[in-house]
Amino acid sequence: MISPDPPDGAEASGEPEVTPLTEPADGVPPLLATPDEFDRAARRLAQGSGPIALDTERASGFRYSGRAYLIQIRRAGSGSMLIDPVDHPEALGSLIAVLEGPQWVLHAADQDLPCLRELGFVCADLFDTELAGRLLGLARVNLAAMVAHFLGLGLAKGHGAADWSRRPLPAEWLNYAALDVEVLVELRDAVQAALVAAGKDDWAAQEFDHVRTKPEPPPRVDRWRRTSSLHTVKTPRALAIVRELWATREAYAADRDIAPGRVLPDSAIVAAALAAPDSVDALTALPVFGGHRQRRQAQRWFAAIRRAAALPTSELPPRSAGGVGLPPVSRWSNRNPVAAQRITRARKQMTALSESVGTPMENLLAPDLLRQLCWDGVEPVTETAIVERLAAGGARAWQRDLCAPLLTAAFRDEETSPPADPEPAGPEPSDPDAASAGDHSPDETT
């Protein structure tokens, strides 16, 4: 694996030394919230040059919607801008027009693109620094960690999970928001150089284009089954109560734009399902439902429980969803022994490939696609057939080129060596720093 260069002064044996970056170099820009301010911002952006750094702030955990409550923008020659789209989303046209064309630089783009698209913004060219960090095999890919690693700067943190629908926005929050784009273009340049040195720049370009163009996923089936502690609910009638309470909460939360968990916690839904109260008084005697706020909604929740109680047996939900997706791999040996052997060999090959190229296995090939391919099998087992199946499942060309030969061998029960490290396009960095393979679980990305 070729590790990206650490910033000057970094310690090879530990975390890099960082210089605190506590406020934007030009100060916190004013919050722009009117149509005239949007138009002036668009003219400034048009006078700038190069990629455009973008970020958004939402109110996850506070609001039902995933809308953007703040948009941060920065471009060379234009400076930074903080856009409040809440009151005049219809007036963003000039900004939308000037942003269509230049490359956008985002960190964890799949979090920001949906709310930007909702406002009408169109991304024609994308660079995702977080995704690039994963391809490079960095152990930590949140924004602060990557800025420290590549630029030797320490970003101020602390407000990413705040309620950004709040108005007015506190000054320290705006400072935090502006810092998120302060050095994002510089980070992009450093990361791009590391991708080129590692021979992964084409991989990244394909991944960025995939993220930019992939459609929104279809709605989950039976989302109510994701209720926390649902496994403690054993009977179909009790499951029906969970389903009715969940649906009632969902409708109320969407109408009021409040996060569902703030309307009624999952624990209360499960408690009501297990108790099956037969009156409002019995319901309000349960934990949570006896609180002042829930007492005011008690009739709403009890009506949902009554609807579940009145359902005929034929309309009760089964204890398990059934027929949705593949069984857990741990059960394959009983249900599909050939597939179990196949995925064991395939995972062995993919693990070796991951270690060889220094990229997490889940970025080399989507785990769901690998499982489905191993479950179904391919007849006849040829590399061409496997390439076709990978392509049909959405694997990019670079993934097919790397994985198809190994999967073909695994399906044929052959042994083969994973390919060597990608051929570097430039001089190999001299220091194998902390970017070696590590914990690749998603970090806080901002």
pLDDT of residue 421: 58
Convert the pLDDT of each residue in 178-202 to its tens digit: 999 999 999 999 999 999 999 999 9
Residue 421 lies in a domain: no
Intra-chain end-to-end CA distance of the chain, in Å: 26
Closest CA to 440 of 373, 364, 368: 364
* Residue 4 or residue 171, greater confidence: 171
Q: Which of 155-169, 237-251, 325-339 has the highest mean pLDDT?
A: 237-251
- CA dist., res. 132 & res. 211, Å (int): 12
- CA dist., res. 236 & res. 259, Å (int): 27
Convert the pLDDT of each residue in 64-113 to its tens digit: 999 999 999 999 999 999 999 999 999 999 999 999 999 999 999 999 99
Torsion angle in degrees (nearest 10) through CA of 434, 438, 439, 444: 30
pLDDT tops 80 at residue 430: no
CATH number at residue 38: 3.30.420.10
Residue 30 lies in a domain: yes
Average pLDDT over residues 262-268: 97
Please give the residue range of the domain that contains residue 343.
329-411
Cβ atoms within 10 A of the Cβ of 86, count? 14
Burial label, 338 (beta-carbon count in 10 A; 0-12, 13-18, 19+): exposed
pLDDT tops 90 at residue 2: no
Same domain, 297 and 374: no
Same domain, 76 and 206: yes
The count of structural domains within the chain is 3
Convert the pLDDT of each residue in 284-318 to its tens digit: 999 999 999 999 999 999 999 999 999 999 999 99
Percent of the chain clearing pLDDT 90 (strictly above): 84
pLDDT of residue 322: 67
Average pLDDT over residues 33-40: 98
Same domain, 47 and 186: yes
With beta carbons less than 8 A apart as the criterion, state whether 123 and 104 touch: yes
With beta carbons less than 8 A apart as the criterion, state whether 267 and 278 touch: no
Question: At 87, is the secondary structure helix, strand, or coil?
Answer: coil
With beta carbons less than 8 A apart as the criterion, state whether 54 and 105 touch: yes
Same domain, 148 and 270: no
Backbone φ/ψ region at 366: left (φ over 0), alpha (ψ -120 to 50), beta:
beta
Same domain, 270 and 186: no
- Compute the Cα dihedral for 219, 224, 229, 231 and give only its sign: negative
pLDDT tops 50 at residue 381: yes
pLDDT of residue 325: 80
